[in-house]
Structure 1
């Protein structure tokens, strides 16, 4: 069987994101099983001009879909309007099986905001795809009335090879992700300002706002810069708790939370829909109301050795 996968590859300068990491992991997993795979890179940043990227992608589809037995598109919401309809149409014309995989957790909200005409295009595309994969369970239920072949395909990581030792709580907190306001880094700063020097907070990730980075500095918080995706688990293992106070409605199942669970590191997060499917409050982590900095601080202060070790054990079992 030959499989054509359309999805975003790693950026040429090494910049990455959750969907890109998942795409690369998917390719590595399929290739390890000896499947014949062809790939079309849909990361428009890897093309000289964005509009040229779309033309190149569509042209590659016309050449490669006829040669494939099955086609899978890993797309953004934008791709679902400008690439997916074309891929599904060509697939139906050539009697090819076409699957669509949507990662992130807010496509139901995006869909509901579409204009009448845009929604008609999306409906036709989703209905005529052979199979749909969704990252969260609530998206599966939302889109089943459009296409009953809707299935849950969560974000995931490789099985552990390193055994988990009993972790001691030393009040070391870490954030890994895009360092911006939407990800809640200023909320972490506010908490760090109020807590004593017994607590430490380290932030890792790409930051494009130097002024924001400057605002993050104090005696107990430190910005450590961006790290390679393959080092994330290694870095997390040096800390006690992952902080994920994201306010972004599009969060599905963040890979960094899965990677934290893989080392028995519980997560304190805002209770977004996708995160509530991953994190069981007071079991494998703590959930607090979105943008409630006081509740975030209280959750951090509520941890002691006994409670922490219980959360750590459950986080590891969740992975």
Structure 2
């Protein structure tokens, strides 16, 4: 069996944890089960190797398939050489997109579209994105965000009953662009408890000072959750606050984890949030986040909350590893 090549931001050496690294590791884990670990050559782009392009081109000589999860800069500068080399080496490139930024990037860089048509597949997280790429004549496929949680664990969470008073949680990178200050403002105005999970990613010292000043007795920062303990921790809450304005947002893993945990999601009206929440009826999107969120949480009944939480559990069936299995068969047909 000829080896396959896997290139993506795994951050094994630095231990970075965000939506990109979580998804990349999940894809790799699922891929290894298809090919056997000994046949997968792995290149971690987080190693910041100045010879990255040469390593990729070299290993493409010895593989049939190349599974590629690049960042923005890699798409800009590596698409042309990698696509040309794939023709010369008869390598099937499967580009798996992390986030929601690719359609906008390609609209501004039409030359990349031409070369990306040489890829065997370009897989995005939402059907609206897939349609945009299909209109560009790319071999576009859908691979929704997914998790390797067991069905038994999910079924156990159906027995979780909502608590009173309502318990709020923020589960994302702790940074301004992810809406942490809006989440805290909601909790403080309603005098509800808010637990915060995620790596601290503030770029300005003034934001760190602001964060500490806004954290009152009802708001607690609880660090980073271990991947094996996410559902077990999140199921103890009622509502996920997700006020993101992050530019690269695609199919947020936080929403997927919230569904497995049976949480109502209240998100900002940003990027693809409305499309996701309305499709599965698992939450609300807010225009004026703090004001609208406070009104919604103040007026929702316990029965409505329970219904949304049940909807979330039901939606989680769409985010299991079977999503990857079905995608794998389609792109390798």
- TM-score normalized by structure 2? 0.85
- Paired residues of 1:126 and 1:146 also in contact (CA < 8 A): no
The answer to which structure has the higher helix fraction is: 2
Q: Deviations over 1:30-51 (max 9, x none)?
A: 22234321111112xx33xxxx
Cα offset, 1:138, TM superposition: 1.7
The match for 1:266 is 264
Supply the distance in 2 between the matched residues of 1:160 and 1:6 (Cα, whole angstroms). 30
- Of 238, 246, 249, 2:247 maps to 249
Structure 1: runs of 5 or more not aligned: 48-52
Aligned to 1:50: none
Shift in CA distance, 232/256, structure 1 to aligned 2, threshold 3 Å: same
Find the counterpart in structure 2 of residue 18 from structure 1. 19
Aligned-pair CA distance for 1:276: 2.1
Instruction: Decide whether the 8 Å contact of 1:261 with 1:316 is kept in 2.
Output: yes
- Work out the CA distance in 1 between the residues paired with 2:76 and 2:58: 20
Conserved? CA contact 2:183–2:242, under 8 Å? no
Secondary structure of the 1:280 match is: helix
Alignment-derived partner of residue 69 in structure 1: 64
Contact 1:167/1:240, CA 8 A, preserved across alignment: no
Cα distance in 2 for partners of 1:270, 1:74 equals 27
Q: In the aligned structure 2, how far is the partner of 1:79 from the partner of 1:161?
A: 39
Q: 2:200 aligns with which of 207, 215, 218?
A: 207
Report how far residue 195 of structure 1 moved. 1.2
For the aligned residue pairs, the C-alpha RMSD in angstroms reads 2.0
- Following TM superposition, by how much is the alpha carbon of 1:306 offset from its aligned partner in structure 2, in angstroms? 0.5
Q: CA deviation at 1:282?
A: 9.3
Aligned to 1:193: 188
Select 2:125's aligned residue among 132, 135, 139: 135
Q: Which residue of 1 aligns with 2:282?
A: 284
Aligned residue pairs, count: 303
Tell me, in whole angstroms, the C-alpha distance in 2 between the residues paired with 1:216 and 1:317: 35
Query: 2:163 aligned to 161, 166, 169, which one?
Result: 169
CA separation in 2, counterparts of 1:208 and 1:276? Answer: 25
Structure 2 gap ranges (5+): 203-207, 317-333
CA-to-aligned-CA distance 1:254-287 (integer Å, 9 cap, x gap): 1121111112112111122322232128931122
1:108-155 CA-partner distances (Å, limit 9, x unpaired)? 22333x3xxxx2431233222121111122211111132342111111
